[in-house]
Every structure is written in C-alpha cells, then in structure tokens.
C-alpha cells in the first residue's frame, strides 16, 4: 500500500476526469489534496466526495493560462502549506479538427493550456520545493504527443512539448532531489473524450488490444506511483497508459 500521509499535493484539472480521479486517489492514500480548476462547482463536489470518503482536500480556482493567476494561487497556497510535496499537472483541453481548419485563437488556446499551463504551474510552485530539496512532479501528456493523432495536430505538438519539458526539467531538478515524470493517456473515457464522434470511439475500441477505453482511475493509479516514495529513484520517464495501443519496441 502506498502511504502519502503528511504529504500535500496540488492537482490541476481536479474538477473532473483524470484530474478528479487523481485527486481522490492521492487523498485516499493519505495526502492532503489542493485541487485547482476553473470549474468551482465541480471542484466543490470533488472536495465533498474526498471528505465523505474520509480524506482531506480543498479547492482553489486557478486559470493555468494566466501567469498572474497561477502566481497568485501559488503564493496563497504555499503561504498556507509552506510548499507542495507533490505537483500533478492534469489540466488540458482539445477539440478534434483538421489542422487547416484551426484558427489562430484555437491554436493559441491549445498551446497555452496544454503546454504553457504546465510550465507556468511548475515555475510558480517549484521554489519552495527546491529550497526543501525534495518533491515529486507528475506531468500528464498524451500518447498523441508520442505518436501523433489525426485531427489533433497542434494538441499533439503541445503534448510532445510536455514530454520534452518533463525530461529537461528532470535533469535540472535532480540535483535538488525532485523527481519529474510524465504519464501519457491513450484514449480515456472522460467528459472530453465523450464529446468526440461515435465513429471515432468505435474505431479506437477495435485497435486497442484490451478492447476497452482507459478509465480515469487507470491513469490515477499510474500517477499515484510516480507521486509516491516508491518512485524516488525514477525521473525523466514517460509512461503510456493506453491498453497497449501505443506499444513501442
């Protein structure tokens, strides 16, 4: 059993999907979870669910596309808790659309949210972790960033950036005792995926070796390992959680 008692974890995108499952899983392991999201209503539901299960959590409104917003939340949260022991970057968004139909606003939003959002959060929350010479960072990328994905070209580019960012940050943070790893979901049964066309869901189910979509809990389980002391000698690694869809030799 993984024991995170006495640890404080920030989870972005904690109001739904993979983020919520991660927040609940870390809390179940004993961590106090600070869930960050723009959806304050669903964030409050997550906190209530964690507390009903005997865990400890709080919610903070945070827009990862804004440097000012992220820096303000970091100052507030670190002021209350001193520092984060665990930092999990989950917040993200996409829409399936051919690249040549992407307008400039869409492209900017995809990159700002899916890539720069993680850069902003890491930059804001790292100083006290560096001072303490310890911590665990888990970035959520996507298998789209590893192998590409039709209709998700800019998203795949942003998520590929997350993978490179993770590896480079891991090299810089190793001297400070901070592990930085990355989890790449394959097709996962989240509200975001549910908005995609039925034909795409059916096509993916045919090619996933396990013949099912991933669940948010599948991803949360992988994140829990990387966030735990069991991964204390693991850094700069990328783990696909895709039911075998993206095996590589």
Q: Is the pLDDT of residue 249 over 60?
A: no
Domain ranges for the chain: 8-234
**Buried b or exposed e, range 120-142, using 16+ CB within 10 angstroms:** bbbebbbeebbeeeebbbbbbbb
Residues near 208 by Cβ (< 8 Å), separated by ≥ 6?
A: 186, 187, 242, 243, 244, 245
Residues near 164 by Cβ (< 8 Å), separated by ≥ 6?
A: none
Taking phi over 0 as left and psi of -120 to 50 as alpha, with beta for the rest, 243 belongs to: left
**Residues assigned a catalytic role:** 155
Are 136 and 226 contacting, i.e. CB atoms less than 8 angstroms apart?
yes
- pTM exceeds cut of 0.85: yes
Please tell me the predicted confidence (pLDDT) of residue 150: 86
Determine the Cα–Cα distance for residues 213 and 210; give it in Å rounded to an integer. 8
pLDDT tens column, 165-211: 999 999 999 999 999 999 999 888 877 677 666 777 777 778 788 88
pLDDT tens column, 92-108: 999 989 999 999 999 99
Residue 161 banded pLDDT, cuts 50, 70, 90: very high
Percent of the chain scoring above 90 in pLDDT: 82
Q: Is the pLDDT of residue 248 over 70?
A: no
Are 82 and 61 contacting, i.e. CB atoms less than 8 angstroms apart?
no
Please tell me the predicted confidence (pLDDT) of residue 103: 97
Determine the Cα–Cα distance for residues 68 and 42; give it in Å rounded to an integer. 23
Backbone angles phi, psi at 222, to 5 degrees: -70, -40
Percent of the chain scoring above 70 in pLDDT: 97
User: In which order are the strands placed within the sheet that holds 135-140?
Assistant: 56-61, 32-37, 8-12, 86-89, 135-140, 178-185, 238-241
Q: State whether CATH 3.30.390.10 applies to domain 8-234.
A: no
Are 63 and 69 contacting, i.e. CB atoms less than 8 angstroms apart?
yes
């Amino acid at each position: 059993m993984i024991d995170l008692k006495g640890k404080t974890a920030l989870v972005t995108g904690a109001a739904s999907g993979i983020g919520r499952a991660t927040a609940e899983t870390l809390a179940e392991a004993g961590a106090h979870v600070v869930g960050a999201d723009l959806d304050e209503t669903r964030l409050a539901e997550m906190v209530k669910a964690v507390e009903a299960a005997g865990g400890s959590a709080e919610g903070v409104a945070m827009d990862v596309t804004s440097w000012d917003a992220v820096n303000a939340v970091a100052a507030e949260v670190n002021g209350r808790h001193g520092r984060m022991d665990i930092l999990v970057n989950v917040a993200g968004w996409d829409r399936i659309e051919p690249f040549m139909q992407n307008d400039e606003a869409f492209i900017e939003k995809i990159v700002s949210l899916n890539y720069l959002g993680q850069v902003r959060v890491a930059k804001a929350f790292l100083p006290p972790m560096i001072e303490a010479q310890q911590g665990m960072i888990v970035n959520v990328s996507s298998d789209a960033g590893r192998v590409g994905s039709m209709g998700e070209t800019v998203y795949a580019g942003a998520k590929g950036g997350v993978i490179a960012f993770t590896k480079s940050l891991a090299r810089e943070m190793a001297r400070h005792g901070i592990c930085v790893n990355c989890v790449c979901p394959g097709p996962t049964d989240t509200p975001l995926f549910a908005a995609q066309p039925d034909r795409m869901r059916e096509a993916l189910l045919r090619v996933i070796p396990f013949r099912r979509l991933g669940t948010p809990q599948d991803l949360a389980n992988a994140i829990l390992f990387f966030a735990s002391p069991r991964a204390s000698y693991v850094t700069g690694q990328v783990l696909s959680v895709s039911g075998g869809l993206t095996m590589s030799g």
